Structure 1
């Protein structure tokens, strides 16, 4: 799909977007050209219009920085990993390539990150975005950073809720409800989201540093807009630090939860040990008087049977009272 964004002819202070068919020419003055799951024909159309080359999906996924961030024929090529489907249990990262030229900004993507929808709603309003390629990429990156911050905040809230569920409730009730297993499973999911956010912000920071070092800033008199890449870099670094803090908090929660699981298991083992010790003397007495030797004087006792029962009861109670005295129970 090929989406174009032009300056609104009526107001001139916002961008309007529409889809373009393969038979239509790209209008002159298009500020932003968005390629969503592009076909070979749509790639060719944009290449002809701007005199650039559109990277393939395989090239966008390259791990070498020199292959995803570079300048060619006056156009700046930058690929970042953007968190996508953050409202699902296991979000994923989508590769997005930004191609910044003097005429227009081109974005190439094969997924629909939520940040793009947020930015599209923003530019549709008057004054939402300055109608210039540099302003568009700055606004897109700002939306990506804001979306990452929202995802982290949501994860932090869910971690706090899980913590209260584990640490504020009675351990026996929590264990019976299976909360420990559920929390450990969720911790893995939350750590996956946090690592995705951190990886996304690292790639975005690399893009911002490249822009601040290579993008020629126009004067305000000439364009009326000067991008502030350093401010965005500070925002990204703040999110990275916050992600590190949440990750450490998650690590503590995992260790604490495993510690509580260990305590519950120790209680069960201790109970079995106490029962075994309590039943040991009665078992010994029953074993002795259960032997069938002929010469056993106790066999002739009239009160031998109740005496054996009484001894078993007494020697079962004594270890129990000793454990209670030692406060082992």
Structure 2
């Protein structure tokens, strides 16, 4: 059984991931400890190693908005919501707690956001990130932001495809409602993804603002590292603006779709109205001659029946011609 999902140690100019079993000690010099679904024993192991407390899953989930970012015993605790399962139709948000200390960065999570796998592949290459805890969290946030941008780009492409489907759709299918029904359902799914991305970026922005205000490192001589949080903040704000734009576009698509549905419904109602008006005179004629009074002279005529049929056809055609002349059809 794994004690710690991933430990990264410096190896030259890159990080070397390592998994530990229960008997292994946490190696000195480990700058990133990634806890995935940790047990209480695993939490205690890391707590003894770094002298900090590790929040449980329930504590992470029940945090008040004012408690998601705080400092304790020299460690900085920051909880962000990261988009997870973004490849599915209904992605969700996963709570991830970052614990930044001078010795190491600890990440506590109970899900597997794609950004973590992206970052792990990146740090195993030379120059993947700066080889210290602040560099690791900066790289992680960069991967989270990149993943959010990728998700939004995918949603934008699918929104464009659905937009063409609405305005360039086959009228036969449109009138049957198959296209509109599918589009409305997809609009709801896309809006769910966009709202998740926006919520995730808001929490990441709070983390970046906290880091920029409370965790400023001094530059070291000869190649020291000083994290640049402002660049990441600009990226996060750009993603939030893009998400707002996509939400506005989806709202327009929804309004347009509902408007086209109303137009199609009005066409159907209009057709029924025309048919009803056209059939009113023939119905009146048939009702009159259906009364069968003895004093009705037409009942004795040899051509009475053809005359009644002819009158009904004539008074059905005349309203139709009138509607065509008025261009109501």
C-alpha displacement of 1:219: 1.0
Matched, 1:119 2:119: yes
Match of 1:77 in 2: 77
C-alpha displacement of 1:177: 6.4
Match of 2:178 in 1: 178
Q: What CA distance in whole angstroms lies between the structure 1 residues aligned with 2:142 and 2:76?
A: 18
Q: What CA distance in whole angstroms lies between the structure 1 residues aligned with 2:160 and 2:131?
A: 42
Match of 1:106 in 2: 106
Match of 2:8 in 1: 5
Q: How does 1:1-329 map to 2 (within 5 A)?
A: 1=2, 2=4, 3-8=6-11, 12-176=12-176, 178-221=178-221, 224-329=224-329
Q: What CA distance in whole angstroms lies between the structure 2 residues aligned with 1:66 and 1:177?
A: 47
Q: What CA distance in whole angstroms lies between the structure 1 residues aligned with 2:63 and 2:194?
A: 20
Which 10-residue stretch deviates more, 220-229 or 234-243?
220-229
C-alpha displacement of 1:60: 1.2
Q: Is the 8 A contact 1:81 1:96 kept in 2?
A: yes
Indicate the SS of the match to 1:33: strand
Q: What CA distance in whole angstroms lies between the structure 1 residues aligned with 2:223 and 2:41?
A: 33
RMSD, aligned α-carbons: 1.2
C-alpha displacement of 1:220: 3.3
C-alpha displacement of 1:99: 0.4
Q: Is the 8 A contact 1:95 1:110 kept in 2?
A: yes
Give the length in aligned residue pairs. 326
Q: What CA distance in whole angstroms lies between the structure 1 residues aligned with 2:253 and 2:65?
A: 35
C-alpha displacement of 1:67: 1.7
Question: TM-score, normalized by length of structure 1?
Answer: 0.97
Q: Which runs of 5+ in 2 are unaligned?
A: none
Which 10-residue stretch deviates more, 38-47 or 291-300?
291-300
Q: What CA distance in whole angstroms lies between the structure 2 residues aligned with 1:63 and 1:258?
A: 40
Indicate the SS of the match to 1:295: coil
Q: Which runs of 5+ in 1 are unaligned?
A: none
* Structure 1 outlier segments of 4+, above 4 Å: none
C-alpha displacement of 1:222: 7.0
Task: Provide Cα deviations, 1:211-261, integer angstroms capped at 9, x if missing partner.
Answer: 000003131317621100011111101100110000000000000000111
